[in-house]
Amino acid sequence: MRIAVLTGGGDAPGLNAAIRAVVRRALADNHEVVGVRNGWLGLLEGETVSLTRDSVSGTLPRGGTVLGTSRTNPFKVEDGPARMLQTLEQLGIHALIAIGGDDTLSVALKLHKMGVRVVGIPKTMDNDVPGTDYTIGFDTAVNVVMEACDRLHTTAEAHHRVMIIEVMGRDAGWVAGVGGLAGGADVILVPEVPFTLEEVCEVIRQRHARGRTFSIVVVAEGAKPSDFGVQITQDARVDEFGHVRLGGVGALLAREIEARTGHETRVTVLGHLQRGGSPTVFDRVLATRLGVAAVEAIEAGHFGVMVALRGTKIVTVSLEEALAGTSPLDLELYRLSRLFF
Ligand code: F6P
């Protein structure tokens, strides 16, 4: 068989580990692998590269994606679907592996409905894809958040300051919730749980009343202070999947906390640091298992599915299940983290 593979949407550490696993597992059964460059854009433009054992050698620890990625929505492009089908046909592709989050997988499902043999692999540092316990890139991202909390603790303590750490997480608070819990945050703010600026200030005042002289606040970029009722955006532009560019909730919190409590406050926006660098053990192993499982799903003739981690097992779930909304932060975990506020 000739199998195509692409990475779409925001990058996340572990993508190369997944591509490498696809290639190594496919070659083990003498299949050929074609890499599609820059996500769905490459399929529109016929930009592909043959992937060999050599081309994936040494890529396991590398962040980013050797194939490149984009946020292209091919269904927003004139003749997009037809152009993609033409590329697949011209290359004689038997099946396509799409590695991505909800946007990329939604295109995969549409293609599957048009008759393309598709298997999805869940990747996003947001960890918000339903049907899988974890997505590629999440573990590395929360390790970055944890380390940032550790580092900011020492400077916060030295200066008796409030430190706000703004992390990614548009609709789901997994990164803030898990990263903040591991980093010992004193306040964690996520899109799933409403809060007011006054409540946040009150937690900080109470900490100070107990004798603490500093506080660490982790806030997801998509967290909505009830005082405003909307997510804080950088500008009004939207991408091809309709997402606005979030950012600014950290700065807003810093201003309000300083004004209302009188405690000096600083903000750190972790941004794309959370998506860069070498994947953790967990992400390397998860990506490797999912890449292998995707080829095995193709060999077994299972299409329109996503390979997923459930408990300790790799399973397949339908792409419909994977696209049933957004998987929210486990609120039990959030309740637990509140114990430490
Ligand atoms: O989709 C993952 C994500 O990391 C979001 O949490 C974030 O809002 C977005 O990507 C930002 O991505 P970019 O700057 O690449 O558009």
Taking the C-alpha atoms of residue 100 and residue 106, their distance in angstroms, rounded to an integer, is 9
Q: Are residues 166 and 286 in the same domain?
A: no
- Write out pLDDT tens, residues 101-128: 999 999 999 999 999 999 999 999 999 9
Residue 327 lies in a domain: no
Considering the domain architecture, whether residues 13 and 117 belong to the same structural domain is answered as yes
Joined tokens for residue 223: 């967290």
What confidence score (pLDDT) does residue 72 get?
Answer: 97
Compute the distance from residue 109 Cα to the ligand 1 centre, in Å. 21
C-beta of residue 181 within 8 angstroms of C-beta of residue 174: no
- Counting the structural domains of the chain, the total is 2
Q: Is 189 helix (H, G, I), strand (E, B) or coil?
A: strand
> Which ligand 1 atom is nearest residue 168's CA?
6
The set of catalytic residues is: 126
Other CB atoms within 10 Å distance of the CB of residue 202: 13
Read off the pLDDT band of 42 (50, 70, 90): very high
Give the pLDDT score at 235. Answer: 85
Q: Residue 74: its pLDDT value, please?
A: 98
Q: Which amino acid is at 238?
A: V
**CA of 175, closest atom in ligand 1:** 6
Look at the alpha carbons of 204, 210, 214, 220 in this order and tell me if their dihedral is positive or negative.
negative
Taking phi over 0 as left and psi of -120 to 50 as alpha, with beta for the rest, 14 belongs to left
Please give the pLDDT value at position 229. 87
Question: Do 265 and 295 have their domain in common?
Answer: no
Q: Which amino acid is at 192?
A: E
Q: For a substitution probing ligand 1, which of 71, 125, 145, 168 has the most ligand atoms within 8 Å of its CB? A: 168
Look at ligand 1, atom 15, and give the residue with the nearest C-alpha.
Answer: 10
Domain of 108, in residue numbers: 2-137+279-322
Please state, as a whole number, how many other Cβ atoms lie within 10 Å of the Cβ of residue 50.
10
Phi, psi of 51 (to 5 degrees): -105, 120
Mutate to test the pocket of ligand 1, among 170, 171, 237, 239 (most ligand atoms within 8 A of CB): 170
**CA 77, CA 154: separation in Å to the nearest integer?**
50
Going by C-alpha positions, the residue among 266, 64, 253 that lies closest to residue 151 is 266
Q: Are residues 42 and 104 in the same domain?
A: yes
Q: Is residue 337 part of a domain?
A: no
Q: Tell me: do 215 and 156 sit in the same domain.
A: yes
Which residues have CB under 6 Å of ligand 1?
9-10, 101, 124-126, 168-170, 221, 246
Instruction: Report if residue 328 sits inside a domain.
Output: no
Residue nearest to atom 1 of ligand 1 (CA): 10
**What's the gap between Cα 267 and its chain centre?**
22
Centroid of ligand 1 to alpha carbon of 341 (angstroms): 28
Q: pLDDT by residue (tens digit) across 181-192? A: 999 999 999 999
Residue 116 sits in a domain whose CATH number is 3.40.50.450
């990475």: which residue's tokens? 7
Q: Is it the case that residue 135 has pLDDT exceeding 90?
A: yes
* Domain edge (last residue) among 218, 243, 276: 276
Residue 195's pLDDT band, with cuts at 50, 70 and 90, is: very high
pLDDT digits (tens, 9 = 90+) for 72-101: 999 999 999 999 999 999 999 999 999 999
334 domain-assigned: no
275-302 mean pLDDT: 98
Q: Going by CA atoms, what residue is nearest to atom 7 of ligand 1?
A: 168
10 Cα nearest atom in ligand 1: 15
Q: Dump pLDDT digits (tens) for 228-262.
A: 889 999 888 999 999 999 999 999 999 999 999 99
Condensed to tens digits (0 to 9), the pLDDT of residues 146-177 reads 999 999 999 999 999 999 999 999 999 999 99
Average pLDDT of the chain, as a whole number: 97
Ligand 1 centroid from CA 211, angstroms = 38
- The answer to whether residues 191 and 246 touch, using CB atoms and an 8 Å cutoff, is no
Q: How confident is the model at residue 336 (pLDDT cuts 50, 70, 90)?
A: very high
Read out DSSP for 128-145? --TT-S--BTHHHHHHHH
Residue whose C-alpha is closest to residue 83's, from 36, 129, 120:
36
